[in-house]
């Protein structure tokens, strides 16, 4: 089933949880084990990617190991043009809108377009905004960070994303961030745009997840808590219970 249509179908009756797995953070077998635990906890989709430069071979192996443990759809969350795998169901074809580096605005997208067309991978156009503190993605992506409570700047970017025709908008505080994007920012954006809003970074427990969802987030993403918690199933179950 078309991944974007599936996301929109689920959003008709509930919020969505996505588990982010970074192939560079652990061996492929461990990624598969994490996916099995996340599936049991109730996650809806898997995002595969990260901020570091990961080659297609590692992407292929990691996705194959995850496929062996779950039937949930897998979306590539790319950090560069090399992060492509024929085994994924879709890829976020995204623009880091507040980057100062042209490669993250359109360069990597141009570099991967022909390959994606040839492989026939579903592309989901997405606007991507990085907020303070930004963490690794802010540094690697040369982002001009948006303040986590800067409603006016965030709103301008969000409306521009909708005007560009993006199907999703991702608000990112950075993997491992101490706090997610400010709730007032999320609420203002949801009031202004008609595309689903994804929030990631800094969501590590029920309370944080609940606050972000109550503010208006349609989709939440958790990654660091999955990789670093001693019991990923329990940690994710707690967060997904907020949905």
Where residue 237 falls among pLDDT bands split at 50, 70, 90? very high
pLDDT at position 119 is: 94
pLDDT in tens, 157-179: 999 999 999 999 999 999 889 99
**Range with the poorest average pLDDT among 50-54, 88-92, 106-110, 226-230:** 50-54
pLDDT at position 163 is: 98
Mean pLDDT value of segment 62-89: 95
Check if the beta carbon of residue 232 is closer than 8 Å to that of residue 38.
Answer: yes
Check pLDDT > 90 for residue 94. Answer: yes
How far apart CA 111 and CA 149 sit, in angstroms, is 34
- CA dihedral (206, 243, 42, 74) in degrees, to 10, reads -110
How many structural domains comprise the chain? 1
pLDDT in tens, 118-157: 999 999 999 999 999 999 999 999 999 999 999 999 999 9
How far apart CA 34 and CA 176 sit, in angstroms, is 17
Mean pLDDT value of segment 30-54: 92
pLDDT at position 6 is: 98
pLDDT in tens, 189-232: 999 999 999 999 999 999 999 999 999 999 999 998 888 888 88
* Predicted structure pTM score: 0.96
Check if the beta carbon of residue 70 is closer than 8 Å to that of residue 39.
Answer: yes
How far apart CA 138 and CA 7 sit, in angstroms, is 27
Range of the domain at 211: 3-240
pLDDT at position 106 is: 97
Burial 14-27 (b: 16+ CB within 10 A, else e): ebbbbbbbbbebee
pLDDT at position 224 is: 83
Mean pLDDT value of segment 36-42: 96
Where residue 1 falls among pLDDT bands split at 50, 70, 90? low
Mean pLDDT value of segment 80-101: 96
pLDDT in tens, 48-64: 998 677 899 999 999 99
Check pLDDT > 80 for residue 82. Answer: yes
The CATH number of residue 88's host domain is 3.20.20.390
229 to 34, 85, 133, 232: CA distances (angstroms): 11, 27, 22, 5
Residue 125, burial from CB neighbour count under 10 angstroms (0-12, 13-18, 19+): middle
């Amino acid at each position: 089933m078309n991944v974007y249509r599936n996301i929109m179908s689920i959003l008709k009756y509930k919020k969505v949880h996505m588990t982010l797995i970074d192939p560079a953070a652990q061996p492929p077998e461990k990624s598969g084990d994490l996916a099995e635990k996340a599936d049991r906890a109730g996650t809806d989709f898997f995002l595969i990617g990260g901020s570091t430069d990961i080659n297609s071979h590692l992407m292929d192996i990691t996705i194959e190991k995850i496929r062996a443990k779950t039937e949930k759809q897998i979306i590539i969350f790319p950090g560069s043009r090399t992060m492509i795998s024929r085994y994924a169901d879709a890829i976020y074809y995204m623009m880091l809108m507040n980057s100062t580096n042209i490669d993250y605005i359109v360069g990597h997208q141009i570099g991967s377009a022909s390959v994606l067309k040839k492989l026939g991978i579903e592309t989901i156009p997405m606007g991507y905004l990085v907020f303070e503190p930004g963490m690794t993605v802010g540094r690697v992506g040369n982002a001009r960070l948006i303040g986590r409570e800067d409603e006016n700047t965030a709103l301008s970017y969000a409306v521009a994303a909708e005007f560009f025709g993006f199907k999703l908008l991702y608000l990112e505080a950075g993997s491992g961030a101490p706090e997610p994007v400010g709730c007032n920012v999320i609420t203002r954006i949801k009031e202004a745009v008609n595309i689903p809003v994804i929030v990631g970074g800094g969501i590590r427990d029920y309370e944080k997840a609940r606050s972000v969802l109550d503010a208006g987030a349609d989709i939440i993403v958790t990654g660091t808590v999955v990789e670093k918690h001693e019991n990923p199933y329990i940690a994710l179950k707690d967060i997904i219970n907020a949905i």
